[in-house]
Amino acid sequence: MPVKTVFETKIQHVSILDELGNFDEALGGGLIPDEDVVAMYKHILVCRRFDEIAFKLQRSGRMGTYPENRGQEVPSLAAAYVLQKKDWMVTCYRENAGLFWRGLPMEKILLHWMGDERGNHIDECNVTPLAIAIGSQMLHATGLGWASKYQKNGAIACTFFGDGATSEGDFHEAANFAANLNLPVVFVCQNNGWAISTPTKVECSAPTVAQRGLAYGMECVQVDGNDLFAMVRVVKDAVENARKNNRPTFIEALTYRLGDHTTADDARRYRDADELAMWEKRDPVIRLRNYLEKRDLWSQEQEDGQVALAETTVAAVVKIAEEIDAPTTNDIFDSMYEGITPELQKQRQTLRTSSLGQDPSQVPAKSQEGAVQ
């Protein structure tokens, strides 16, 4: 029998605004109105100030471990810009820009990292709490996509994860379900080159992470994740594919975290200084400001004003987070259960995890030598 090719494909890389300020009018012209570009640039400046202050809060002992978002703002922001209110954003922990644009109060993120569970109580918008366990959120996104398809409400789920998460079984299970069941899910892999301290080239031998989605029959694309225009374009295409065709898309966004993995990490121990310097030149903030200034849409006066506004805004957010009323011991009972049973009422009253305090007969008898009978 003759040998024949049964499958061929290609992965496209999309770039519209590069780090040198070159803009592809054919791909990006009219994609984002000027006023929206300005608004998103202002938003990133606020997010940068938030990152800076959150870092200082951790270093001064006023907050727990914190993962800086600096350098990785564009993928989630572009998605939040494209998604409709009814859609779901299912994030991990480096998507502040998108979450805040979506409408999540900024103090919620501070409360989360301060260990206050009220930071995970979200009523304002269709976003899920931060997912710390690597890869678990992709399963949630697939479930939300499945529910949306069943309910025929036209909503989609867009989930974010790192390159390292694509090595988790959760990713493969979520991708398999989403593709085989024709679910409206957008998978956004933020490939920042590092799975904590493991470089992507060690974790994935393929030339792209995007092609991992090919095994499940997804549409796959690679994009410059620091290019706002390119990200908006590929997310729009993926959202349309999900909404019209009930098909998932895998987006590999090439980006970079300019800070450490978290405040518990020291990236200098494993990351080359020249690599960091190269990516600092690709900073989305620098790129967007150059774009705006070339078109007379931004000035130093506006920059100074926005920086001052960002300082005031974040200071107010910190005040809210730090001055919130302390949680009560009743919260775990009142918030976790639909109804309080008599046994739970005893636990709430005695602050014990059993009713031993209420019924002494349950305490094991002891011999004179102290051994349990």
Q: Can you give the three-state secondary structure of 229-241, one letter per residue? A: HHHHHHHHHHHHH
Active-site residue flag, 66: no
Query: Which domain, by its residues, includes 82?
Result: 12-322
Query: 136 and 151, same structural domain?
Result: yes
- On the question of pLDDT at 14 being above 60, the answer is yes
Q: Provide the H-helix boundaries in the chain.
A: 25-28, 34-59, 74-82, 96-102, 106-113, 136-151, 169-180, 200-203, 228-245, 273-280, 284-294, 300-322, 331-336, 342-350
Look over the chain and give the mean of its residue pLDDT values, rounded to a whole number: 92
Pair 242, 373 in one domain: no
Is residue 115 in some structural domain? yes
1 lies in some domain: no
Q: Is residue 256 located within the same domain as residue 128?
A: yes
Residues 363 and 224 in one domain: no
Q: Identify the band that residue 373 occupies on the pLDDT scale cut at 50, 70 and 90.
A: very low
pLDDT tens digits for range 72-90: 999 999 999 999 999 999 9
Residue 365: pLDDT over 70: no
Q: Do residues 266 and 347 share a domain?
A: no
Instruction: Report the Cα–Cα distance between both ends of the chain, in Å, rounded.
Output: 79
Q: What is the per-residue pLDDT for 358?
A: 52
Answer yes or no: is pLDDT of 369 > 50. Answer: no
- The whole-number pLDDT of residue 371 equals 44
Q: Indicate which residue of 94, 257, 271, 289 is catalytic.
A: 257
Q: Is residue 3, in this structure, part of any structural domain at all?
A: no
CA of residue 226 relative to chain centroid, distance? 15
Tell me the average pLDDT across 164-170.
95
pLDDT tens digits for range 232-272 = 999 999 999 999 999 999 999 999 999 999 999 999 999 99
Which has more pLDDT, 346 or 115?
115
Residues 6+ apart with CB under 8 A from 134: 92, 161, 162, 164, 165, 168, 170
Tally of domains in the chain: 2
Quick one: 194 and 232 in the same domain? yes
Place of tokens 């605004």: 17
Report pTM: 0.90
> What tens digit of pLDDT does each residue of 290-328 get?
999 999 999 999 999 999 999 999 999 999 999 999 888
Q: What is the pLDDT of residues 40-50, one digit of tens each?
A: 999 999 999 99
> Are 370 and 294 found together in one domain?
no
Q: Do residues 129 and 122 make contact, with C-beta atoms less than 8 angstroms apart?
A: yes
Residue 7 in any domain: the answer is no
- Same domain, yes or no, for 294 and 357? no
Active-site entry in 112, 212, 261, 271:
261
Residue appearing with tokens 């499958």: 7
Please check whether residue 264 lies inside any domain of the structure.
Answer: yes
Residue 117 within any structural domain of the chain: yes
Query: 228 and 314: one domain?
Result: yes
Q: Tell which residue, 254, 134, 136, 251, has the closest CA to residue 196.
A: 134
Diameter of the chain measured on Cα atoms: 90
Alpha-carbon torsion angle 203, 204, 205, 207, nearest 10: -140
Percent of the chain's residues with pLDDT above 70: 94
pLDDT, mean of residues 84-99: 97
Q: Read off the amino acid at residue 216.
A: Y
Q: Quick check: helix, strand or coil at residue 177?
A: helix
**Do 311 and 357 belong to one domain?**
no
3-state SS, residue 18 = coil
Catalytic residue among 13, 270, 337, 352: 270
Q: How many CA atoms lie within 13 A of 141 on its CB side?
A: 36
- In this structure, the answer to whether residues 46 and 157 fall within a common structural domain is yes
Mean pLDDT within 335-358 = 76
Q: Is residue 4 part of a domain?
A: no
Per-residue pLDDT tens over the stretch 263-287: 999 999 999 999 999 999 999 999 9
Active site residue 172: no
Question: Which is nearest to 41 in space by CA: 296, 223, 290?
Answer: 290
In sequence order, the 6+-apart residues with CB closer than 8 A to the CB of 68 are 51, 54, 55, 94, 257, 258, 259, 260, 262, 263
For the domain that residue 209 is a member of, what is the CATH number? Answer: 3.40.50.970
Q: Is 93 a catalytic residue?
A: no
- Angle formed at CA 228 by CA 316 and CA 149, multiple of 5 degrees: 90
Residue 346 exposed, middle or buried by CB count within 10 Å (0-12, 13-18, 19+): middle
Give the pLDDT confidence score for residue 31 in this predicted structure: 97
- Residue finishing a domain among 292, 307, 322: 322
Q: What average pLDDT does this structure show over 175-190?
A: 98
In this structure, the answer to whether residues 166 and 28 fall within a common structural domain is yes
Cα-based torsion angle of the residue sequence 328, 333, 338, 344 in order, rounded to the nearest 10 degrees = -150
Residue 186 inside a domain? The answer is yes
